[in-house]
Structure 1
Amino acid sequence: MNMLALLLPPVSYNPNGRNMRAELMAEATLLSRADRVGSNMLTAINLTSCVDFLADWERVYALTPSPGDTLQQRRQRILAKMSETGGLSRAYFIQLAKALGYGITITEPEPFRCGRNRCGDRLWTPDIIWVWIVKIESGEKIPVYRFRCGASATGERLTSFGRNYLEGIFQELKPAHTQVVFDYSESA
C-alpha cells in the first residue's frame, strides 16, 4: 500500500486521507492477489510441482482419478498419457509399460504348422496370430506409492497401493485387430 501511495502525484492527492487510504488498500489487495495467481501459474507448467492445476491436466488428457488416488498416482498416469506417442510395435508397448513402472514381455504365439513345429509343441488355433500375451514380471503386479515430501499431499496415507492401469491403457491403445491377454503367473 505504501508503494502505491508513492506513485501518487505529490501535491494533488493526500495519501493519508480516509477515502484515498481505502482506495489504496483495495488496489494493494488486488495486486497481491494477482501476484499470487501469477506465481501459481508458473507451477502449472511443471507437472512435478503442480497441485492446484492437476485436475486441469487430467481433464486435458481425459483421465478420471479415483477418489483414493494419491498425487503420485495421478501424476504417473498423466506422465504415461503424455508419453503416448503412438505405435503398433511391441517395443512401443514395452516402453509405455516401463513408463508406468511395469516390467513386461510380449509374446505373439503362432499356430501349429506342419514342417515348422514338432511333437510336444503347443497347438494353437489359426486365429492365435491376432493375440498378444503380455507377461507381467513377478513383483510388478501392483505399484506401491510411499509418502514423500514434495510429491505427496497432506492427509495422504504413508503407503498406498495403486491399481493396475496397465490393462486399461493397453486395451485403449492396442491395434484394433488384436486381443491382449495378461499373464500374472509367477515364473517357474
Structure 2
Amino acid sequence: MKVGVVGLQGDVSEHIEATKMAIEKLELPGEVIWLKRPEQLKGVDAVIIPGGESTTISRLMQRTGLFEPIKKMVEDGLPVMGTCAGLIMLAKEVLGATPEQKFLEVLDVKVNRNAYGRQVDSFEAPVKLAFDDEPFIGVFIRAPRIVELLSEKVKPLAWLEDRVVGVEQENIIGLEFHPELTNDTRIHEYFLRKVI
C-alpha cells in the first residue's frame, strides 16, 4: 500500500505520521510519501489532502500539476481523505471562496470556509463516529463547516453533537476537523480500509 499526502502546505508531517501509525496498527505493508509532484502519483493507492490554507493549497496544486491528475484519479475511484482545508478542496460548492480558488469538486457537499472564525476560536470537542462507539477528539482549527449534503451518495461519518462534521461518499472522506493532531488513528485506519 502506498499513500500520498499532498505536501504543498499545511500539516503534512502530522498526516504522514498518523498514516504510518495506522498502517502499523492494521499490520499492513505500506509506505507513506510526501506528495509534491505529479510523477509521484504513480502507484499511489490513496491520497490525503491535509489542512492548511485552502487558497494556497489550491494555487500550489495547480502550479505543481497535481490538481488535474488527482481530480481524475479520485473521479476514477482513488480513495481520498481531505481534512479541514482538504475538505474545502474536495467540496462541490464552497461559500466564501476567493475568485482565484479552484476546487476538485468531487464531494457532493456545500461548505463554508472558516465558518468557525479566527484561529483564536479553535477548539477541541468529542465527535461521534459512524463506525465506532468511542468518541473521537476532534480538533477544529479555523475549520470549514459542512452546511449541506448535496446528494444521497453522501453519508454522515462524524457528528459534533447533532451536526455533521465528517462525511463519506464512496471513495471520499471529508472532515471539518484534524484527526492527525491526536494520537487516535481510528479515522486513518478507517480510511486505509478503503484501500485494502
Give the TM-score normalised by the residue count of structure 1.
0.25
Q: Which has the higher strand share?
A: 2
Given the two structures, how large is their TM-score scaled by the length of structure 2? 0.24
Q: Structure with the greater relative contact order (CA < 8 A, sep ≥ 6): 1 or 2?
A: 2
Structure number having the greater helix percentage: 1
